Amino acid sequence: NSSPSSLKAVVSTQSTGADESEVLNAVKEWCTVNAVITGQSMKDVARKVIGHVRFSLLDPEYLSLVEKENELKPFIPIRLISEAWRSHALQDRDSNNPQLRPRAGTLPHDALARKLARSQACAASCSDD
């Protein structure tokens, strides 16, 4: 159980060597564990850290999946997802906005799509055993 400030320090840095999808998954896992430990809702736990995830850097296909998952188990404020879609629609690349600044580990969208396809193929073949 790490503190919200420890997680914020990691997910708010430029030098994080992870793609934004990995950052989001780490935040989601942290929120899930801390919600169980503290007895708070995931949404309440996430409130302290979720704003540091750069949703605008997510591939549109992945963002769509995140949005659908959030409809079933809401923990991401709709405003953050809406801002990400707005950024994609406008192709906003304002380097002064930290939410739009790629991290060290940010993958180009096509590379992320290939990575997701490989992991889904592995999951499908591994589950056949």
Give me the numbers of helices (H) and strands (E) for the chain, helices first please. Answer: 6, 0
pTM: 0.69
CA distances from 63 to 33, 42, 115 (A): 23, 19, 15
Model pLDDT for residues 87-118, shown as the tens digit of each residue: 888 876 666 666 666 655 566 655 555 555 55
**Which residues are CB-contacts of 101 (< 8 A; sequence separation ≥ 6)?**
14, 54, 95
Model confidence pLDDT, tens digit, residues 28-87: 999 999 999 999 999 999 998 899 898 988 989 999 999 999 999 999 999 999 999 988
Ramachandran category for residue 74: left, alpha or beta (phi over 0 → left; psi -120 to 50 → alpha): beta
Contact 23/54 with Cβ under 8 angstroms? Answer: yes
Per-residue confidence (pLDDT) for residue 129, from 0 to 100? 45
